[in-house]
Chains A and B, each alone.
Chain A
Amino acid sequence: MAIQDEDRLFVRNGLRHYRRRYSLTEVRVGGLIFVGLALIAAWVAWRGGQADPDLFSAAPGQVQRAVVVVPGEAQGALRAGPAPSAEARASPRGIAPEGLAPEGWTERQVALFGPDNVYEKINGREGYYKSFGFESLTFVALEFSADASVSVDIELYDQGKPENALGAFAGELPPEAAARAHGLGLSYRARNALYLTAGRYYVRVVGSDESKTVQAALDHLGPKLEGALPGEPLPWAYALFSGALQIPPARVSYSAESTFSFGFFDAAWIALLEDAETELFVSRRTDPGAAHKLAAELERGFLEYGEAAKGKGGLEWAKDRYLGRFSAVIARGNMVLGVRGAKSIEAGTAQLQRLEGAAAKAPAQ
């Protein structure tokens, strides 16, 4: 059959249709489809809230390190260690202990450098030590008597404060290196090198190769330097984190101000755990009252970025609304202890208990 009436030829209403029967099945199918579309829309909206924080942060890794402490600035939390004696300053031997050379080795060169001429010795690297409050460098070169090509260079940096020495030390270690605590500082042994701190001093001992001869010399120099350099006990926070809790010192940092972007939180020691998210922090206040006040302020601060969740023992945890991670803080004596960014309340509680246990044994200042 051909097309019959004119209105099928000349379209008066472009939207008209010609079917005669309608079916409720279509309405039902349509309903199902609408539900499906609504689900898609809901999913997209939900996904929109799941932002990858890495895209919007400005390199968290860049700002993980400790704030550099320079001399001349009021840093109430940090104290200077014993300064080298006047004659040590004057002598070209500087702070280098006598009799460093093991048997079979000779001292080839000893030199002392101050901030003005240190570039002569370590051109290009001096800025690094200066940013940690460099005061002087004593350089001792040891030479193996039997073979002049085997040598060990000892660089003794006076960094003014134990925290600076530790900062310079931590900055040069591989990120996962676990250092050993030796009472006055930390030390780390690499295959052909030895790094250690003692009080305000940071020492680099670098051998010319990895031979047995060099290894033996390093074995000798380690205890010798640890014993001979004047020092004071390891700063309590390093003793706590790297000593008691075995956290690599490169993961320990000191924040002088605005810790975690809280203007009221300063002088905090922070240790980043292996998952690179969870942080333990401690801060010493003048008295228990101040510690309690700060803990309460911090708890409020954490809650500004998330909602509260009750943990074990009635401790209030804050779940970060962007990252979904948990933070909590407690006051013990004049110390404020806390966990930030734990994966779960359980994991956080465990870390907090470890920290609390270690802090209870920490030496009182």
Chain B
Amino acid sequence: MSEQLVQPDWLKRQVARNRDGSPWYARKLRITTVRIVSQAFFFALFTFLLWATWFSRLGGYPVSLFLEVDPLVGFATALSTHTMYRWLWRGLFVLVPTLLFGRAFCNWMCPYGTLHQFMGFIFNIRNNKSRIHKNRYLSIFQLKYIILTVMLVMAAFGSLQIGLLDPICLLVRTFAVALAPASDLAHVNFAEVLRASLGLDPEPLALLAMKPGAPEQRIFAGAWFVGLLIIGLVGMNLVIPRFFCRVLCPLGAFLGVLSRFSLWRIDRDLTKCTDCDLCLRSCEGASDPHQALRKSECFVCMNCIDDCPEDALAFRLTPLPVKDKIVGDVKKGLATLFGQRVISKHAETEIRTPAVSKRRWVFAGAAGVLAYPFLRLSKSVNKRGFHEKAIRPPGSVAETEFLERCIKCDQCINVCPTNVLQPATLTEAGLEGLWTPVMDFSVGFCQLNCTLCSEVCPTGAIQKTSLAQKLGIGAYEEAGPISLGTAFFDHGRCLPWAMETPCVVCEEVCPVSPKAIGTYDAEITRWDGAKVTLNRPYIRPELCIGCGICERECPVIDDAAVYVTAIGETRSQDRSLLLETSKKATKT
């Protein structure tokens, strides 16, 4: 009717019926399109939640949602602590679908997987022959199971290391430590160009700032390494597509082991398959859909269905093992299945379990058993000889429990408004505590009325702490405030002590009331013989909460004359300084 008048040709092509007679939207909205929408959605949600991890945006957003639904986080912390903290039960939202559909998480939800796939899509241009070649299974793909086993064994002993490579932890950490500061650096310069050169108001761009309202650019210890790591891992896509997902990912391995039970899987119809191998063209997981599907490797991306010119592949509920039903010799092409001729030369249709030999599982377990004491017996994580700057955020549990819980996701670092929380380097926390949060008071300080890090911590390494608890008021009066450490003066560097110069910024900024830093008047005869009165500061350790604002604001900025160390922290008896009773008595 009237449609001929208005429909342009391109639109007609877009909405024309398909060749098989199905309506046009069956082509447009086929399952791979749905998958891409899902990936885009979860990637956007992930980015949004990280963007919202900031004082003025936080509201009630579940900003650590992706870490909470990561079943490896829940499982590994359950192994190490025998408990399931706060929201970690949300891991069921991924676990149950995996038991039904296999590793669908990897190609439908995982933001890191999406990143790798997208980067490969943009940068890894190959012809079909080469793509098929690159998507065949390699024995190096076993490595992730070894990594998983080592990490889980260590977790069972109480050293949680999954965060080093868990994709969600890794991506959140990379965002917090490397990407967000980089983005803000670009943002500030761009705004400067707009304002200075073009005379425009850059205010509307504030939405693009990751950490608005901070007077200084955020900096992080070891950002270079975290940043180079993601460049390297993304770059590896050019060598082996989805390198991280196929070779390293412990979460993928965990879901891969689970997916042996999955009810649905990709099924190949032997009576249609011509062994053309085109299904490998876009196979994300290198799961061999052209022969026996490796269930533990399949990402359920459904690309093989799209690429099969014979329509031999489909995603089916509990496909029957057909090998026994085949009559005749498959290799010679004479066999039949239920009366239909079998065309494919490969009769196997699935391999349920990861292709890791028993002895390798055992080796990995043994490696984990040994790795635990190797790491734990390093000096930095014990009660003797710990590093004086291993200062944990307020609300943290005692160090050994902390290492059972911290997944190095660095969400606390991401939300910290003052930049004081830093990923630990090997110096402060050894390999076992690498990238766990520590406070560096030369960069920032722990703000008195702030408990944001305890809110975003997904595993309870920093327990959810109310403000009253942190300050030791109301119901927590008896327990007293949470102390992170104790401040000390270096009289050799302090201006009033060593250089006859007035200062006491430390006393001014000390946030507790009454102040933990006091001053007394000292009348001295100066070098020139003049009598001058100096305010000399001292510490009252029973009042000090180790917030470090004195160290941050000390004008001797390179090696502050007042500095906080971990001694005197309230989270454990091991590192207390004063006798408990004397501390209480002097306070009242």
Residues of A whose CB lies within 8 Å of any CB of B are: 1-4, 8-11, 14, 17-24, 26-27, 29-30, 33-34, 37, 40-41, 44, 47-52, 54-62, 64, 175, 276
Assuming the contacts A3-B128, A26-B29, A26-B31, asked whether A59 and B22 have C-beta atoms less than 8 A apart, the reply is: no
Measured between beta carbons, the chain B residues less than 8 angstroms from A59 are 449, 467-468, 471, 473
- Chain B nearest CB, measured from A308 CB (Å): 24
Instruction: Report which of B121, B308, B474 forms a contact with A175, defined as CB distance below 8 A.
Output: B474
Measured between beta carbons, the chain A residues less than 8 angstroms from B277 are 3
Cα–Cα, bound, A20→B313 (Å):
12
Assuming the contacts A20-B19, A22-B20, asked whether A50 and B31 have C-beta atoms less than 8 A apart, the reply is: no
Do B34 and A30 have beta carbons less than 8 Å apart? yes
Do A62 and B129 have beta carbons less than 8 Å apart? no
Cα–Cα, bound, A17→B128 (Å):
12
Measured between beta carbons, the chain A residues less than 8 angstroms from B466 are 54
Do A55 and B452 have beta carbons less than 8 Å apart? yes
Do A23 and B22 have beta carbons less than 8 Å apart? yes
Measured between beta carbons, the chain A residues less than 8 angstroms from B308 are 18-19
- Interface residue? B328 (CB, 8 A): no
4 tightest A-B contacts by CB? A30-B34, A50-B60, A22-B26, A61-B473
- Interface residue? B275 (CB, 8 A): yes
Do A44 and B278 have beta carbons less than 8 Å apart? no
Instruction: Report which of A23, A27, A48 forms a contact with B59, defined as CB distance below 8 A.
Output: A48
Instruction: Jot down 8 A-B pairs with beta carbons below 8 A, ordered by A.
Output: A3-B278, A24-B26, A33-B34, A33-B38, A44-B45, A48-B61, A51-B58, A59-B473
- Chain B nearest CB, measured from A45 CB (Å): 9
- Interface residue? B477 (CB, 8 A): yes
- Interface residue? B62 (CB, 8 A): yes
Do B452 and A34 have beta carbons less than 8 Å apart? no
Do B62 and A47 have beta carbons less than 8 Å apart? yes
With both beta carbons as reference points, the residue of chain A lying nearest to B275 in the complex is identified as A1
Measured between beta carbons, the chain A residues less than 8 angstroms from B55 are 56
Chain B 59-84 interface mask (CB, 8 Å, partner A; 1/0): 11110010000000000000000000
Assuming the contacts A8-B128, A26-B30, A62-B471, asked whether A51 and B278 have C-beta atoms less than 8 A apart, the reply is: no
Cα–Cα, bound, A237→B22 (Å):
81
Which of B19, B41, B452, B477: most chain A Cβ within 10 A?
Answer: B41
Do B127 and A11 have beta carbons less than 8 Å apart? yes
Cα–Cα, bound, A50→B341 (Å):
62
Chain B 15-44 interface mask (CB, 8 Å, partner A; 1/0): 000111011011101111110011001000
Do B61 and A47 have beta carbons less than 8 Å apart? yes
Instruction: Report which of A20, A30, A41 forms a contact with B31, defined as CB distance below 8 A.
Output: A30
Measured between beta carbons, the chain A residues less than 8 angstroms from B60 are 47-52
Do A57 and B22 have beta carbons less than 8 Å apart? no
Cα–Cα, bound, A54→B474 (Å):
14
Told that A47-B62, A59-B473 touch, could you supply 19 new A-B pairs with CB distance under 8 A? A2-B276, A3-B278, A9-B128, A18-B306, A19-B309, A20-B311, A21-B311, A23-B26, A26-B29, A27-B26, A27-B29, A27-B30, A37-B41, A48-B60, A52-B455, A54-B451, A55-B451, A61-B468, A175-B477
Cα–Cα, bound, A62→B471 (Å):
9
Dominant secondary structure at the A interface: loop
Instruction: Report which of B38, B59, B306, B474 forms a contact with A49, defined as CB distance below 8 A.
Output: B59
- Chain B nearest CB, measured from A175 CB (Å): 7
Residues of B whose CB lies within 8 Å of any CB of A are: 18-20, 22-23, 25-27, 29-34, 37-38, 41, 45, 49, 52, 55, 58-62, 65, 121, 125-129, 131, 274-278, 305-309, 311, 449, 451-452, 455, 466-468, 471, 473-475, 477
Do A26 and B45 have beta carbons less than 8 Å apart? no
Cα–Cα, bound, A18→B303 (Å):
10
Measured between beta carbons, the chain A residues less than 8 angstroms from B19 are 20
- Chain A nearest CB, measured from B474 CB (Å): 4
Measured between beta carbons, the chain B residues less than 8 angstroms from A21 are 20, 22, 311
Instruction: Report which of A18, A30, A41, A175 forms a contact with B45, defined as CB distance below 8 A.
Output: A41
- Chain B nearest CB, measured from A32 CB (Å): 9
Do A29 and B31 have beta carbons less than 8 Å apart? yes
Do A26 and B34 have beta carbons less than 8 Å apart? yes
Cα–Cα, bound, A58→B473 (Å):
13
Instruction: Report which of B22, B49, B128, B275 forms a contact with A22, defined as CB distance below 8 A.
Output: B22
- Chain B nearest CB, measured from A1 CB (Å): 5
With both beta carbons as reference points, the residue of chain B lying nearest to A43 in the complex is identified as B62
Do A37 and B128 have beta carbons less than 8 Å apart? no
Measured between beta carbons, the chain B residues less than 8 angstroms from A58 are 449
Cα–Cα, bound, A40→B449 (Å):
32
Do B452 and A9 have beta carbons less than 8 Å apart? no
Measured between beta carbons, the chain B residues less than 8 angstroms from A18 are 278, 306-309
Cα–Cα, bound, A189→B477 (Å):
21
With both beta carbons as reference points, the residue of chain B lying nearest to A17 in the complex is identified as B306
Instruction: Report which of A3, A30, A48, A55 forms a contact with B455, defined as CB distance below 8 A.
Output: A55
Do B58 and A55 have beta carbons less than 8 Å apart? yes
Cα–Cα, bound, A200→B432 (Å):
63
Cα–Cα, bound, A354→B175 (Å):
55
Measured between beta carbons, the chain A residues less than 8 angstroms from B276 are 1-4
With both beta carbons as reference points, the residue of chain B lying nearest to A8 in the complex is identified as B128
Assuming the contacts A10-B127, A20-B19, A21-B22, asked whether A30 and B33 have C-beta atoms less than 8 A apart, the reply is: yes
With both beta carbons as reference points, the residue of chain A lying nearest to B22 in the complex is identified as A22
Do B452 and A61 have beta carbons less than 8 Å apart? no
- Chain B nearest CB, measured from A56 CB (Å): 8
Do A30 and B29 have beta carbons less than 8 Å apart? yes
Do B22 and A24 have beta carbons less than 8 Å apart? yes
- Chain B nearest CB, measured from A273 CB (Å): 14
Cα–Cα, bound, A49→B59 (Å):
6
Cα–Cα, bound, A103→B567 (Å):
53
- Chain A nearest CB, measured from B345 CB (Å): 10
Measured between beta carbons, the chain A residues less than 8 angstroms from B449 are 57-59
- Chain B nearest CB, measured from A250 CB (Å): 11
Cα–Cα, bound, A57→B37 (Å):
39
Do B467 and A9 have beta carbons less than 8 Å apart? no
- Chain B nearest CB, measured from A15 CB (Å): 10
Measured between beta carbons, the chain B residues less than 8 angstroms from A61 are 467-468, 471, 473-474
With both beta carbons as reference points, the residue of chain B lying nearest to A15 in the complex is identified as B121
Cα–Cα, bound, A8→B129 (Å):
8
Cα–Cα, bound, A155→B278 (Å):
95
With both beta carbons as reference points, the residue of chain A lying nearest to B302 in the complex is identified as A26
Measured between beta carbons, the chain B residues less than 8 angstroms from A56 are 55
With both beta carbons as reference points, the residue of chain B lying nearest to A7 in the complex is identified as B128
Measured between beta carbons, the chain B residues less than 8 angstroms from A3 are 128-129, 276-278
Do B26 and A26 have beta carbons less than 8 Å apart? yes
- Chain A nearest CB, measured from B146 CB (Å): 34
With both beta carbons as reference points, the residue of chain B lying nearest to A10 in the complex is identified as B127
Do B467 and A57 have beta carbons less than 8 Å apart? yes
Measured between beta carbons, the chain B residues less than 8 angstroms from A9 are 127-129
